Amino acid sequence: MKSKRKEKFFHILVVDDDNRLRHLLEKFLNDNNFIVNSASSADQARKYLQLLKFDLLVLDVMMPGENGLQFAEKIRKSSKIPILMLTAMDESKNRIEGLQKGVDDYMGKPFEPQELLLRIKAILRRIEKNQVRNFEELTFGNYIYYQSKNLLTKKGLKIDLTLAESDLLRILALNKNNIVNRNRIIKLCSNLSNPRTVDVQIIRLRRKIESEPNKPKYIQTIRGKGYTLKTN
């Protein structure tokens, strides 16, 4: 009997100064099981990239101030994050310039959302061939989380967790350094039925992990977005 493949969650950052298009893209990608943050400028995107780990960047070329090509060039000096560029410009020289700066793919505006989705999935498949997103052991601070056993230890000693706490930690660990919103947690955890129960279990889990639960180092709240397990 074949084992069920684990669901994977990819985190995408959308950068576009067009508020309407940015919000539509965020909703569309969320509806297709991606975790999404959006930024209206390169400066705002840079702050997100310093705070969180993303699997792919959807970047508009024409933005005021620092444009998409300039931003992509700077990103490539320190990161290999895949970049899909959106552009209303049809000139081949602009596409060539983007590819020279490390852009992975281009889409011209206007575009079909389904085509964008297929291109994103194709890029992520290519990246996955060289990356192992699942893990056996996850270390953060003095803690080690064993995925296959759903077990948490501190300096070799087992930390007793309730079923709900254990399931919540597993979800956060599988999406380490990425934001997981409450609705997704509820969907994936049968022991949690509403946003309030998620918040309560987060508090209880922090009490068992954090030295200062009111100032969490590992299980952090991203205001208006959800929770993330910081491991770096």
Q: Do 176 and 109 sit in the same domain of this protein? A: no
Q: Do 48 and 82 sit in the same domain of this protein? A: yes
Q: Do 153 and 57 sit in the same domain of this protein? A: no
Q: Do 200 and 154 sit in the same domain of this protein? A: yes
Q: Do 192 and 218 sit in the same domain of this protein? A: yes
Q: Do 119 and 24 sit in the same domain of this protein? A: yes
CA angle 110, 112, 116 (to 5 degrees): 105
Model pTM score: 0.56
Going through the chain in order, the beta strands assigned E by DSSP cover 11-15, 35-39, 56-60, 83-87, 105-108, 137-140, 143-146, 151-154, 157-158, 219-222, 226-229
Q: Do 60 and 149 sit in the same domain of this protein? A: no
pLDDT at 33 over 70: yes
Residue 2 lies in a domain: no
Q: Which residues, in sequence order, are CB contacts of 8 under 8 Å at separation 6+? A: 133, 134
The pair of structure tokens assigned to 120 is 């994103």
CA dist., res. 35 & res. 12, Å (int): 6
Q: Do 101 and 167 sit in the same domain of this protein? A: no
CATH no. for residue 105? 3.40.50.2300
CATH no. for residue 159? 1.10.10.10
Domain around 106: 11-128
Residue 1 lies in a domain: no
Q: Say how many domains are in the chain.
A: 2
pLDDT > 90 fraction of the chain, expressed in percent and rounded: 45
Q: Do 54 and 109 sit in the same domain of this protein? A: yes
Q: Do 122 and 171 sit in the same domain of this protein? A: no
Q: What is the pLDDT of residues 7-21, one digit of tens each?
A: 457 889 999 999 999
Asked which of 100, 128, 156 is the last residue of a domain, the reply is: 128
Residue 210 lies in a domain: yes
Q: What is the pLDDT of residues 87-112, one digit of tens each?
A: 876 555 666 777 777 888 888 888 89
Asked which of 128, 156, 190 is the last residue of a domain, the reply is: 128
Asked which of 107, 128, 149 is the last residue of a domain, the reply is: 128
Q: What is the pLDDT of residues 147-205, one digit of tens each?
A: 767 789 998 888 988 888 988 998 999 889 999 999 888 888 777 888 999 999 999 99
